[in-house]
Structure 1
Amino acid sequence: MPGPDVPHALRVLVLGGTTEARRLAESLAGDRRVRVTTSLAGRVAAPRLPPGEVRVGGFGGPHGLAAWMREHRVDALIDATHPFAATMSRNAAEAAAQTHVPLLALRRPGWVAQDGDRWHFAGSLAEAAELLPTLGERVFLTTGRTGLAAFADLDALWFLVRSVDAPEPPCPVRMEVLLDRGPFDLDGEREIIRRHRVDVLVTKDSGGDATAPKLAAAREAGIPVVVVRRPPVPEGVPVARTPDEAVRWVRKLYASG
């Protein structure tokens, strides 16, 4: 919270839910020139709350977000949602345009294939599902609890689905659920692949270190990986790759008045 000697603190709304959003809030919460509020979608039952003010729940689309920003006199908006939260990112861009509030997207870099990787890229979960029958029979599916409908008709395949909370139907018929939250280590990922006889991995290109060990484990095991490409950031929105870059953007805004 800003101190009493900072009457015109910059009000920053962070659309969060990621590790980077939490780290950004931690950095900004210690700056008395800034008042930060982190908004969480509320899709995870027990989220890790960042410091500062926190709100939970949706806004009701871009117009609802714009109305909230006006009501709370938001000076800057940072979209630090998951790289695949495309709808929220579009809503943020529209709300920022409606309110004439500066917008920044905080996106960790995507993963880069290494020697020995057998990656197959897909533009969507549906495209990933089309590839699977040609690649394996025992699938380690790490794309989260939503979107499983894309794989529901693949009756010949067996799925190990890992997610923080229980998946939402429709789901594959032959499925085992592993409820767990990252970060994950390499030994654990190796054991999952070995114990469940996994012969193909499906992942979104989320980037970051917390879930990257599964890629190394797949490389060691020599199994193919279907990588779903991330959607682009809305046109014209500047991008920061790290929380530190986002902090510098905020402080530059404050300095410019």
Structure 2
Amino acid sequence: MSSNDDKYPANSGRRRFVKGVVGSAGLASAGTAGVAAVNSLVSSSGVGGGAVAYYGIENTKGPAPRAMPQIPVEIDDEGYLRGRWTGFEEVEARDGSTKLVVQTEEIGGIEYSPQWFQYCGIQGLGGLSPEYDGDNYFRYASGGRAYDWQPSSGRVAVEDFADYETWTNGVGTDGLGKGAFATWRSQDVDTPIPVQILRSSRIERAAEGDDEGAEWLAASTDEGFMAVLNKCTHYCCTPKFKSPQGPKFDAGDESYCPCHQSAYDPFSIVKRSFTALPRPE
């Protein structure tokens, strides 16, 4: 069992939590869409915290303790991408007060909820708050980590990925898919929720298969589009699919985190569990 610092917003009153990591025997093979056994982690107490199971892209190299969680994708009638969101509901407590409790939704054989994203300080961002008043569309992010091809703003559209089967940035193997940096539920908020978008024919084929986990992929991806919360589970940095630094660490075809050399295989979808951090009250 190991422990690491995790990042809480200053107003949460918390600074550390303990993450217990069980050995990951039986991991799915790199480059496949198999699903491995759930890892068990310790529990935590607090508002909206506790153990939660989720699907994510497998961590294959470096010190990251677990997979990065997926965000289920939908495509609207106009060809724009958005993430699924379950929201909150009001419940009456024993003392007569009203509390907001996170809702869950069964998607692809697993209970999906905002708890999947409650780590690395994300649980304190405005986009995961019950008071958030924006929409669920993915919008392009700007900055030094963005891909050269992508717009600096605007909603992510299917037509922008028309060349996804042949696209290359000169890193790793050509034709694996096309990536983009985006944000989610981040309109008019100080700190956006970072997302990695990937469209790949390998994701399409895996979603149409009959391997364990295909049910989840069929429900969480659309036309080969996958979305991942782009926060490394080690120290909360932002990995990049086909990063220029990746080949130095045999990660040219993966999502590589340059801070401590962790890598994630976007084509290996695994089922994991972790301790979701409490939301700020």
TM-score normalised by L of structure 1: 0.26
> Where is the strand percentage greater, Structure 1 or Structure 2?
2
Bigger radius of gyration among the two: 1
> Where is the helix percentage greater, Structure 1 or Structure 2?
1
Using CA pairs under 8 Å that are at least 6 residues apart, name the structure with larger relative contact order, 1 or 2.
Answer: 2
